[in-house]
Structure 1
């Protein structure tokens, strides 16, 4: 008898299949002059898991075909293959089963089963609308520097990469591995990329809530309120601390306006997007630690972003605060978190923390010469599907590359899948074990 796979298993397996198909496409001679299997797998995983870590400069190593493969993997990874599949099915007038609706619910982190197909349609339309607007704006800038066709292509590529929080860029034709540093002072490019990252990282459920309720904050879902407030705190708080830490260091050569712009850009992009407008390999330890924290938190549920998510972080902070103040329940905006939500938040946090510990042991043992700060930065970047690197990605050994590949995959589907598996009881029993107290703290 064939075992019926759960929804979370289908999601995990689906991403693995997309990665493998992308790997074999990148291995084709038409994709590059030569790429070995591990590097092709690394690139396909990074693109599908919308991370942005690269072993080769995307612009100079991959051909046009290879770049398009990467772009398609980014789009599939950002939206989710379930979302795209359901949209195509509805377009072809196919009936969506109850099981498929359940897959939609878990794929986009919807709060309810009803309305999933409608949400998918809004996701697809909204995605192409925002990506299209971003592509037009960016193209106007790139056309001036690269000509009509090249400029339009670069505009489309970077718009999709930014919205999907992927961090892949094609500006290596100016400065290999330089990301957006050539446009560090360009306000149009910076603001466009930042807005696309923010919109892509808010979450599809938040989109729909904002669309339906406009600017009526009091009527928003609890998730929407938490996402907006937490994102606001991280964006502005991160930018402020980044500026304070680096205004006499990495930002010293920039004017006040450019330094503020760069601070906001790094605050937004290090949450999950992976672009950078300054060299992150020369940041102060305090700044690196700040960025690691922001990469660990990441974006919001059901979005193109990675990390433990803003809601997880907020629930844990509120829960700890309620415990410290001796409150019996964790509340926010006159609403109470149920025990299942708190357990899931704790599970996601702990699982990701365990991933970091295990992967750090593996990489440090395999390559003890790597700087500790850079190695942890790489680990947090991979697990948070961020993609910012201090430059050590290209010198990783085979074992370290495999470790980073697994981290990127787990960052995209792993912690969520494990948390969902833990939160679903395989067997319901009315019997409970007797309680016995232990000392904590």
Structure 2
């Protein structure tokens, strides 16, 4: 019913405001059909993850399934201007689902209006995760919702409690739609006055880039991306995109916890000033996880901005004449390097030191439970603080009078080690398959794919099919999480099982 109502509303709207409605009716009717299919798929996914006892395996399968489904949709004759190969379709679909932004085709010229809508839907589903969408629909159609389903959904949403997990899924979806709606309005008004966009439909341009920015995907409907002449010097537009990137990459749990603290603080002062009442905030509203993620994100953004400003001042930044323009572009570059594939500077003119620093930012990536990739900010922060703690002679990691569990420390170092191994092996394979390409460009491409950053030195479309398949696999590993893949493939125990034994300790000499 929702799909049909959506379609009829579109027909009614175009009937009164547009004379040529035939093509629009076809497109929006097809979109309505896709929405219906999505609802049926989510219902089917709910049945599947109740039958299978491995949440990690379901999580992996959902992204692989979306990638192949997207490639089929993008190969439809109505989706492209000319026929494309299956590898290119799969690469584009995987890049959209894994919110990466690496492209082998020109999104603006090679895809039709319908094809761009397909890409946009894949970005939204990939950013939120189809299992979050499944939970969202389960909230409204939750007949026979079991405790086991609550355990699975809590795994998908990265929360340790099973209380109100469906409500959390609804909050995630509604918050995402709200931010994307506000972002659409801000982008629309930031570019409407200048009216220099290389697009006939400014509203669709705004919607596309708002969703793409918040989901940290880096896709653009402009041939040169945000480096296009029409938006390269629009600094207000760049600030809007940058803040959408940061919001999408900081993590939903962190955002909700931070907003709760702000709301309670406002409420406290409001009652004190206007009603002369004392309001006692709950103890430890802001969690340690929130503090670590926000501080790490702030320092990476700050030092990244300063670094880009200094290193590129006489190079790629020289085309920006104003003082504030240079700083805004540097801030934008610092934000997008960790999470998305947007760029407003000519990456091909970057100095080697800037390229290596960009690789470092891409490797760290966004925060946990967000739409971004990488090893995550909390992983990097824990590993760094543990090194400092060991250097001081401490045998445990303590932060703000709290002891960090050894499990979290082991997990952080495992993720770092696995990422280095996978990246190194991938670079070796692509060098073997494409020996003509520069090793620095290949390394940049591999880091970008694994961290779902989407930046490139321009070699993506020139790679062989074998190298493209390696990048597809890297994008999936980066979005799903390599440790989740290891758990899905190797873990044989059921949820909640424990080993009630310990072996004698064995000492190994190190250093």
| TM above 0.5 | yes
Return 5+ residue gaps in structure 2 as ranges. 1-49, 266-282
- For residue 204 of structure 2, give the secondary structure of its aligned residue in structure 1: helix
- 2:67 aligned residue (19, 31, 36): 19
Residue 166 in structure 1 maps to residue 217 in structure 2: yes
User: C-alpha distance in 2, partners of 1:170/1:303?
Assistant: 24
Moved more, 131-140 or 211-220: 211-220
The CA deviation string for residues 336-365 of structure 1, in whole angstroms up to 9 with x for no partner, is: 110111111111111111110110010011
Determine if contact 2:138/2:166 at 8 Å carries over to the other structure. Answer: no
Cross-structure match for 2:114: 65
Summarize the alignment of residues 213-224 of structure 1 with structure 2, pairs less than 5 Å apart: 213-214=261-262, 219-224=285-290
Shift of 1:117: 1.5
Pair 1:14–1:377, CA change in 2 (3 A):
same
Cross-structure match for 2:24: none
- 2:202 aligned residue (145, 151, 168): 151
Shift of 1:94: 3.8
Pair 1:227–1:146, CA change in 2 (3 A):
same
Determine if contact 1:102/1:113 at 8 Å carries over to the other structure. Answer: yes
Summarize the alignment of residues 386-401 of structure 1 with structure 2, pairs less than 5 Å apart: 386-401=453-468
Shift of 1:297: 0.7
User: C-alpha distance in 1, partners of 2:152/2:126?
Assistant: 15
Residue 337 in structure 1 maps to residue 404 in structure 2: yes
User: C-alpha distance in 1, partners of 2:250/2:500?
Assistant: 39
Pair 1:332–1:423, CA change in 2 (3 A):
farther
Residue 230 in structure 1 maps to residue 296 in structure 2: yes
Pair 1:352–1:230, CA change in 2 (3 A):
same
- 2:247 aligned residue (199, 209, 212): 199
User: C-alpha distance in 1, partners of 2:208/2:233?
Assistant: 20
Cross-structure match for 2:509: 439
Moved more, 90-99 or 423-432: 423-432
- 1:85 aligned residue (121, 130, 134): 134
Residue 407 in structure 1 maps to residue 474 in structure 2: yes
Pair 1:394–1:265, CA change in 2 (3 A):
same
- For residue 214 of structure 1, give the secondary structure of its aligned residue in structure 2: helix
User: C-alpha distance in 2, partners of 1:31/1:418?
Assistant: 32
User: C-alpha distance in 1, partners of 2:101/2:152?
Assistant: 26
Q: Which has the larger radius of gyration?
A: 2
Determine if contact 1:227/1:300 at 8 Å carries over to the other structure. Answer: yes
Return 5+ residue gaps in structure 1 as ranges. none
With normalisation by structure 2, the TM-score equals: 0.81
Shift of 1:45: 0.2
Determine if contact 1:145/1:151 at 8 Å carries over to the other structure. Answer: no
Cross-structure match for 1:288: 355
